[in-house]
A and B are shown apart, each in its own frame.
Chain A
Amino acid sequence: MTKLDDRDADLIARMRTAYHAIPADYGLERRSRLRGLPILLAAAAVTLVAAVPVIVHAGNASAPSPSASQGGEASSGPNLAPENAVDSDLTEALFRALDSADGMPAYALAVDPGTKTVNLWLQGEAAGLTASLSDIARSRGFDLETLPYPTADPRTTEKLDAVAERIRNIVRANPEYGFTTLHLSSPTDEVVVWRTHEDHDLDRAVTAAGAKDGVQVVVLEAPTSASETEVLADDLRSRNADWEGRGFRVEGAYPTGSGPVVLVTGDLAAARVAITDSAVLTVLKDDVVTPNLVVTKDEME
């Protein structure tokens, strides 16, 4: 391993500065999908909201992380000067407006009481929403400044999509390849393919699929489809209380060359609809190269 060169050192310094400028994260209580200890985090969040001058909030699960224009190391603590106290009514009003927006756009929000500015990163065009937020801010003596939300470069996305589709076709035509996942990485112009077993023909085929568009295809060793199926089966079985209300039970799942097979008892038609619609399978169906998921009767029933 070579020593860090100057460029790496500069990069790390930049990353560290950004990383350690920790936002006062209002979203800790508001957005988390808390399963327990809600009081604990709520108490912490309430304290944070009351104490810190800058609030940033991410709008949805796929949005970039919350961040803030608050500088300095975490250990230096927030600026607690009274004149920098956040107008909690303002932030509440802004969040309410954002939460009620159609389609729940991704957003990040930073309130700077020092300059009386609200910075808003908002995904997509939402002139009406922006105007409404601006009115809310202005009514409390703040200016709203909108900033471009991080977005994909369409040229890169299209290129990667084309390569991904080519790779999907290779997999569909050759289910024995046993791909499990496919990941597109636009900033690095790479398509990452995870495969379940070593196959040089496969590596060559997918690499060539990327080369046509000048996209690097990185082939990595994926977990076995058996273990992935096990995770899937566990996840589905854990929902049996819910499934039983719909007339069926999931008994298990096993891997095949063309995808996992889920074994159910009870109402097969209802199971096919419910399981295919469930979140975990949406992931498998749309985002992972797992060609077919079959729901079938458990013969042991």
Chain B
Amino acid sequence: MDEEAFYGFVEADGPRLRNLAVALCRNTADADDLLQATLEVLYRDWVKRDRIELTYPYAYARKSLIRQHVSLQRKIRCWIREPVERVSSTSDPSQETGERLALFAALRQLPPRQREAVVLRYLEDMSVAEVSDLMQCAEGNVKRLTHDALRSLRRSLDRVHDPIGRI
């Protein structure tokens, strides 16, 4: 087993995977747990398969992370009410960071299935068929979930640029 290669993979793609985990989860602690669980699985697979099937490890890890997340969502059915966070203004020089904070805050407000669907479809660039396979639901459901998610996100994110709000 090429352990160095595994470490190299984590160094190179760890931040991308965590980014995905943060987008899927409702808080960073859960995202860290999800990433950790994914890396554990990946490490075991890496040992077992000696990279035979890991010619593109990021895709493999991403799939593993999403499956774990979907599985976890089925087990943990409690929703935790969290304070709602919103960026009230996004002035330079930190506009990009503000956008990111706003995006993740808006994603966290979505129901889990909508969040998964929109993250995979539009942020991870997966096809409807791929998302449907990973989420284990019909393609029509994926389309409905992404449509609903976009509608909610538009309302949330548009307001970020409207400090007065329309409450």
Alpha-carbon distance between A223 and B79 when the two chains are bound, in angstroms: 12
Minimum CB distance partner of A17 in chain B: B99
A265 interface residue per 8 A CB criterion: no
* Secondary structure class of chain A's binding surface, majority of residues: mixed
Which residues of chain B are within 8 angstroms of A74 by Cβ–Cβ distance?
Answer: 15-16, 19
Contact partner of A41 among B39, B102, B159, CB < 8 A? B39
Alpha-carbon distance between A281 and B18 when the two chains are bound, in angstroms: 28
Which residues of chain A are within 8 angstroms of B99 by Cβ–Cβ distance?
Answer: 14, 17-18, 21
Minimum CB distance partner of A5 in chain B: B150
Minimum CB distance partner of B43 in chain A: A37
Q: Is the CB of B79 within 8 A of A188?
A: no
Alpha-carbon distance between A231 and B14 when the two chains are bound, in angstroms: 30
Q: How many residues of B contact A (CB 8 A)?
A: 70
Contact partner of B35 among A18, A32, A152, CB < 8 A? A32
Minimum CB distance partner of B28 in chain A: A58
Minimum CB distance partner of A234 in chain B: B75
Contact partner of B83 among A147, A152, A182, A222, CB < 8 A? A152
Alpha-carbon distance between A284 and B78 when the two chains are bound, in angstroms: 7
A220 interface residue per 8 A CB criterion: yes
Minimum CB distance partner of B22 in chain A: A65
CB distance from B77 to the nearest CB of A (A): 5
Q: Is the CB of B85 within 8 A of A64?
A: yes
A34 interface residue per 8 A CB criterion: yes
Q: Which of B42-82 contact A (CB under 8 A)?
A: 43, 75-82
Binds B, one of A23-31, A86-94, A127-135, A269-277: A23-31
Minimum CB distance partner of B86 in chain A: A150
Given the interface pairs A18-B100, A32-B36, A41-B14, the reply to whether A187 lies near B106 with Cβ below 8 Å is yes
B105 interface residue per 8 A CB criterion: yes
Given the interface pairs A8-B154, A64-B104, A152-B86, the reply to whether A32 lies near B75 with Cβ below 8 Å is no
Alpha-carbon distance between A19 and B103 when the two chains are bound, in angstroms: 8
Which residues of chain B are within 8 angstroms of A22 by Cβ–Cβ distance?
Answer: 15-16, 19
Which residues of chain A are within 8 angstroms of B75 by Cβ–Cβ distance?
Answer: 231
CB distance from B124 to the nearest CB of A (A): 9
Given the interface pairs A65-B28, A149-B85, A186-B84, the reply to whether A231 lies near B100 with Cβ below 8 Å is no
Which residues of chain A are within 8 angstroms of B77 by Cβ–Cβ distance?
Answer: 180-181, 222-223, 227-228, 231
Of B16, B79, B152, the most chain A CB neighbours within 10 A belong to B79
Q: Mark A150-173, 1 if CB is under 8 A from B, else 0.
A: 111101110100000000000000
B1 interface residue per 8 A CB criterion: no
Alpha-carbon distance between A17 and B105 when the two chains are bound, in angstroms: 15
Q: Mark A100-127, 1 if CB is under 8 A from B, else 0.
A: 0000000010101001010101000000
A253 interface residue per 8 A CB criterion: no
B134 interface residue per 8 A CB criterion: no
Q: Is the CB of B159 within 8 A of A187?
A: yes
Q: Is the CB of A287 within 8 A of B109?
A: no
Q: Is the CB of A47 within 8 A of B11?
A: yes
Minimum CB distance partner of A185 in chain B: B109
Contact partner of B154 among A11, A32, A64, A223, CB < 8 A? A11
A262 interface residue per 8 A CB criterion: no
CB distance from A203 to the nearest CB of B (A): 17
Alpha-carbon distance between A280 and B77 when the two chains are bound, in angstroms: 12
Alpha-carbon distance between A47 and B33 when the two chains are bound, in angstroms: 20
Alpha-carbon distance between A152 and B85 when the two chains are bound, in angstroms: 5
Q: Mark A171-213, 1 if CB is under 8 A from B, else 0.
A: 0000000001111111111001010000000000000000000
Q: Which of A40-67 contact B (CB under 8 A)?
A: 40-41, 43-44, 47-48, 56, 58, 61-67
A12 interface residue per 8 A CB criterion: yes
CB distance from B34 to the nearest CB of A (A): 10
Q: Is the CB of A37 within 8 A of B104?
A: no
A96 interface residue per 8 A CB criterion: no
Q: Is the CB of A18 within 8 A of B159?
A: no
Q: Is the CB of B28 within 8 A of A31?
A: yes
Closest 5 CB pairs of A and B: A32-B32, A67-B100, A150-B85, A186-B84, A187-B156
Instruction: Tell me the B residues contacting A by CB distance below 8 Å.
Output: 6-7, 10-11, 14-16, 18-19, 22-23, 27-33, 35-36, 39-40, 43, 75-89, 93-94, 96-106, 108-109, 111, 122-123, 140, 143-144, 147, 150, 152-157, 159, 165, 167
